[in-house]
Chain A
Amino acid sequence: MIDKRVNTTAEAVAGVRDGSTVLVAGFGAVGVADHLLDALHEQGARELTIVANNSGNGDYGLARLINAGRVRKVICSYPRSGDYSAFLNAYRAKSLELELVPQGTISERMRCHAAGLGGFFSPVSAGTKLAEGKETREIDGRLHVFEKPLKGDVALIKANKADRWGNLTYIKSARNFNPVMAMAADLTVVEVDAMVELGELDPEAVVTPSIFVDRVVVVGADA
């Protein structure tokens, strides 16, 4: 019987190695797998490359990992969001590297890896500082920039409901980066509010199909 459920967040993030690229879904504080980030803090992996839209807030989740000196590089579109003092201090101390990528380019680079493609040409950032050093091509008279696929070793996903196969549904705008990141990593780990019986999720409403999911853990009130 397939059962991707694990009992603890520690089991969920077991085996993450030093130097891993970790896809951290969410937009601001919404749709972020904070329990898994805390478990990753406990787990101890170092020299992490984080792919996220923002750079963490306060001293929890991603910010806590940064404050603990565990992050070597952040690939994101907008680090300046909310109380991002953890990132700012590390950035000013030059203890981590920032790769700034337009928001739609980050998500498409991950989708591209998930789709088994070798990259894509995009008009976004053409002729700007963010395109410096990148291959360009004029396509139908318009300048495009070559963008490489982006792959995670691990993805930390926040979903609403899962079944034991790992089919996932989301809530409202907490969906954001979760479905695309869930597709783009070797190991996809999910925290959910609730598990339901196989067959209970409306097949028309499943957003992330089980093929992309490796481990599921229930967090919060129903854990």
Chain B
Amino acid sequence: MIPKSWQPLTREQMAWRAAQDLKEGDYVNLGIGIPTLAASYVPPGREVIFHSENGILGMGPKPEPGKEDPNMVDAGKNKTTLVPGGCFVHHADAFLMIRGGHLDVSLLGAFEVSESGDLANWTTEDPAFPPGVGGAMDLAVGARAIRVIMEHTSKRGEPRILKACTYPLTAAACVKRIYSNLAVIDVTPQGLLVIEMIAGMTLEKLQASTEPRLQLAPDWQVLAPPEASEARAA
């Protein structure tokens, strides 16, 4: 294998990058997987309120060992906590917040995203297992900004940012920004606009890993996350 002149972001670094775009006062839902990690990387002093689909508004960090509460779980059924000011709502209200446009940001994982922002993240149609949709379709339509964190390519190196999704859609034309391990890409009416790339990456190399045509923003920046250990808020 040819040594690469660039180093893709880790899962933690992708989550760090997505967290930098969360603004003071934002109400945010974090999807299961890498998005959940973003809660740890909100810059210190910035107040962001996390929503969990099972009726928590003001979700906090993982509990300290020995302080787990069996009645406090997040969307992935992992133990969690409530921050001061947090409260509980029932399921229909939790999804009213999601579907009704009350959340500022929904940060989701994805199998595939298309150039028009179509999202596929709920089923790979594996016939051996029942499908599960959970809150994926709700989360993909309701928030004011729907953003995706995903590996740029599959394990076999095939593009996952495509002209059209091959897996069944979660929602059409919903994704506005993609944080991959190689770049930050905005979905615009004019197509995919690269606003950041990791050091050593070129548009040509990035294009080779991406099916639809990419454009480079004139004011693009180098995507330079801190080492994961330094990024995490104290």
A110 → B minimal CB distance (Å): 7
Q: At the interface, yes or no: B77 with Cβ under 8 Å from chain A?
A: yes
User: Chain A residues near B90 (CB, 8 Å)?
Assistant: 107, 175-180, 207
Spot the interface stretch: A7-15, A38-46, A81-89: A81-89
Contact A91 B72 (CB under 8 A): no
User: Chain A residues near B170 (CB, 8 Å)?
Assistant: 128
B125 → A minimal CB distance (Å): 9
Q: At the interface, yes or no: B138 with Cβ under 8 Å from chain A?
A: yes
Q: At the interface, yes or no: B213 with Cβ under 8 Å from chain A?
A: no
Contact A98 B130 (CB under 8 A): yes
Contact B71 A171 (CB under 8 A): yes
Q: CB within 8 Å of A: which of B129-144?
A: 129-138, 141-142
B63 → A minimal CB distance (Å): 12
Closest to B131 in A: A100
Q: How far is the CA of A143 from the CA of B55 in the complex (A)?
A: 27
Contact A108 B131 (CB under 8 A): no
Contact B131 A88 (CB under 8 A): no
Which listed residue (B73, B80, B98, B135) contacts A28, Cβ 8 A? B73
A77-B133 contact, Cβ under 8 Å, with A180-B90, A180-B92: yes
A102-B136 contact, Cβ under 8 Å, with A82-B77, A107-B95, A108-B92: yes
Q: How far is the CA of A128 from the CA of B122 in the complex (A)?
A: 11
Secondary structure at the B interface, as helix, strand, loop or mixed, is loop
Closest to A80 in B: B132
Contact B72 A172 (CB under 8 A): yes
Q: How far is the CA of A28 from the CA of B91 in the complex (A)?
A: 13
Q: At the interface, yes or no: A16 with Cβ under 8 Å from chain B?
A: no
Q: How far is the CA of A122 from the CA of B140 in the complex (A)?
A: 13
Q: At the interface, yes or no: B21 with Cβ under 8 Å from chain A?
A: no
A80-B82 contact, Cβ under 8 Å, with A27-B77, A28-B77: no
Q: At the interface, yes or no: A223 with Cβ under 8 Å from chain B?
A: no
Q: How far is the CA of A174 from the CA of B94 in the complex (A)?
A: 13
Closest to A92 in B: B128
Bits for B74-114, please: 1 = Cβ < 8 Å to A, else 0: 00010010100000111110111011000000000000000
Which listed residue (B70, B72, B168) contacts A128, Cβ 8 A? B168
A119 → B minimal CB distance (Å): 15
Bits for B45-86, please: 1 = Cβ < 8 Å to A, else 0: 000000011111000000000000111110001001010000
Q: At the interface, yes or no: B169 with Cβ under 8 Å from chain A?
A: yes
Q: How far is the CA of A110 from the CA of B95 in the complex (A)?
A: 13
Closest to A104 in B: B95
Contact A30 B70 (CB under 8 A): yes
Contact B92 A31 (CB under 8 A): no
User: Chain B residues near A98 (CB, 8 Å)?
Assistant: 130
B133 → A minimal CB distance (Å): 5
Q: How far is the CA of A123 from the CA of B94 in the complex (A)?
A: 16
Closest to A179 in B: B90
Q: At the interface, yes or no: B201 with Cβ under 8 Å from chain A?
A: no
A110-B92 contact, Cβ under 8 Å, with A102-B133, A173-B56: yes
Q: At the interface, yes or no: A95 with Cβ under 8 Å from chain B?
A: no
Q: At the interface, yes or no: B171 with Cβ under 8 Å from chain A?
A: yes
Q: How far is the CA of A96 from the CA of B173 in the complex (A)?
A: 35
Q: At the interface, yes or no: A79 with Cβ under 8 Å from chain B?
A: yes
B residues sitting closer than 8 Å to A (CB atoms) are: 52-56, 69-73, 77, 80, 82, 88-92, 94-96, 98-99, 128-138, 141-142, 168-172
20 contacts between A and B (CB under 8 A): A27-B54, A81-B132, A98-B130, A100-B133, A102-B138, A103-B95, A103-B138, A104-B135, A104-B138, A105-B137, A108-B96, A123-B142, A124-B171, A127-B169, A128-B168, A128-B170, A172-B69, A173-B56, A175-B90, A177-B90
A-B contact sample (14 more), CB < 8 A, given A107-B91, A170-B88: A30-B70, A81-B77, A101-B133, A102-B137, A103-B134, A103-B135, A108-B96, A111-B92, A124-B137, A124-B141, A126-B172, A127-B172, A176-B90, A178-B90
